[in-house]
Amino acid sequence: MASKKSKQFDPVGTLQDIESKFEMFQVLNEEGEIVNKDADPNLSDEELQELMRRMVYTRILDQRSISLNRQGRLGFYAPTAGQEASQIASHFALQKEDYILPGYRDVPQLIWHGWPLHQAFLFSRGHFKGNQMPEGLNVLPPQIIIGAQYVQTAGVALGLQKRNKKAVAVTYTGDGGSSQGDFYEGINFAGSYRSPAIFFVQNNQYAISTPWELQTSAQTIAQKAVAAGIPGVLVDGMDPLAVYAVTRDARKRAVDGEGPTLIETLCYRYGPHTMAGDDPTRYRTSETDSEWEKKDPLVRFRKYLEAKDLWSEEKENEVIEQAKEEIKAAVKQADNTPKQKVTDLMEIMYDEMPQNLKEQYETYKAKESK
């Protein structure tokens, strides 16, 4: 007698079925037209203008940071242009009480959360004062170890949950971060406790020079949420309204006790990986660059706002001027910060200094006073 085939045994079909469900969510197309009316987050006119203002400001901050780095006036810098919708529109959906655990490219979200600009510049210069966050600012310093902020986020989210706070822990990484073990541990742990976390993967297509498709067999990074039993969303990361809508939704679920969400934003970094010598022309073509530039978040949002009579060249120039002035003042403030000394690091490291360090401390103190 021929054995009956079990219909359920179709692992390839099951995978294909899951993958086919992860379609890119979009609200505003490249022409600045609403293509998904039901999903429009319906921001007020003032909110729409503020979101645009922050994105324009952030683009200028990126341009200035690149030139300050070239002049030797900034140290470590990871360019952000192309990622404004992913970074600024997601942050726009957060509240002051939320905790941000950023990667090194996520300086803009920290600034809009309240990190003073001059401190961001000090961080770039490797000055310890850059990492001494003001009281009440719920952020961790930018993480340099790829993906490490995922497990930390699961911990912060659990802490918020235990204290019954109506707040979320939000972390950002790139596509490369999702290739790290920490990524899986973090989303799984937060999922099992249904902790209030949002895990944000900005898929800017490359981990330095490695294309994201070479990092995984998965069709999307968002689908990795399925194995952790949490919702995963694939979103157009160049569309500010779509990014805002999915983040607001994820935050609501998190504070309502419904657990974490994984969000993958499809975006592009226009510049090099960092300013430390990466040459993107060695792994990307100018055709690919210009295809992504057509999707630019500022261009499409500008078109959308201009059609509603909410934005103009004049308004944009005002923002640019304000950004330039504030950046100039912040650089000056960073310049005026006393240089860090070896004894500074010893002083801030220990509540009570061990005996062997006390001796070294005295030696350095004498040297530094010369």
Residue numbers annotated as active site? 269, 273, 283
Q: Are 260 and 187 in contact (CB under 8 A)?
A: yes
Residues 287-346 that bind ligand TPP (CB under 6 A): none
Rounded alpha-carbon distances, angstroms, from residue 245 to 11, 110, 222, 236, 354? 33, 20, 16, 11, 51
Q: Are 86 and 202 in contact (CB under 8 A)?
A: yes
Measured distance CA(261)–CA(248) in Å, rounded: 11
> In angstroms, what is the minimal distance from the CB of 10 to ligand TPP?
33
Tokens read off for 162: 């235990």
Interacting span for ligand TPP (CB under 6 A) from 111-119, 169-177, 298-306, 357-365: 169-177
| Torsional sign, CA 25, 31, 36, 37 | positive
Interacting span for ligand TPP (CB under 6 A) from 92-100, 149-157, 160-168, 174-182: 174-182
Site track 193-222 with ligand TPP (rule: CB under 6 A), x = hit: -----------x-xxx--------------
| H/E segment holding residue 12 | helix 11-20
Q: Which of 273, 295, 300, 302 binds ligand TPP (CB under 6 A)?
A: 273
> In angstroms, what is the minimal distance from the CB of 78 to ligand TPP?
6
Work out the angle at residue 151's Cα, subtended by the Cα atoms of residues 217 and 245, and round it to the nearest 5 degrees. 70
At 309, phi and psi to the nearest 5?
Answer: 60, 35
> In angstroms, what is the minimal distance from the CB of 209 to ligand TPP?
9
- Nearest residue to 174 via CA among 293, 100, 264, 92: 264
Q: Which of 53, 54, 105, 118 binds ligand TPP (CB under 6 A)?
A: 105
> In angstroms, what is the minimal distance from the CB of 176 to ligand TPP?
3
Residues 15-34 that bind ligand TPP (CB under 6 A): none
Site track 66-95 with ligand TPP (rule: CB under 6 A), x = hit: ------------------------------
Residues 116-155 that bind ligand TPP (CB under 6 A): 144-146
Per DSSP, what are the bridge partners of residue 232?
262
Count the residues in the chain.
Answer: 370
| H/E segment holding residue 199 | strand 197-203
> In angstroms, what is the minimal distance from the CB of 28 to ligand TPP?
23
- Number of residues interacting with ligand TPP: please give it, by CB under 6 A: 14
- Nearest residue to 43 via CA among 304, 258, 252, 260: 304
Q: Does 62 contact ligand TPP by CB under 6 A?
A: no
Residue ranges binding ligand TPP (CB under 6 A):
105, 144-146, 173-177, 204, 206-208, 273
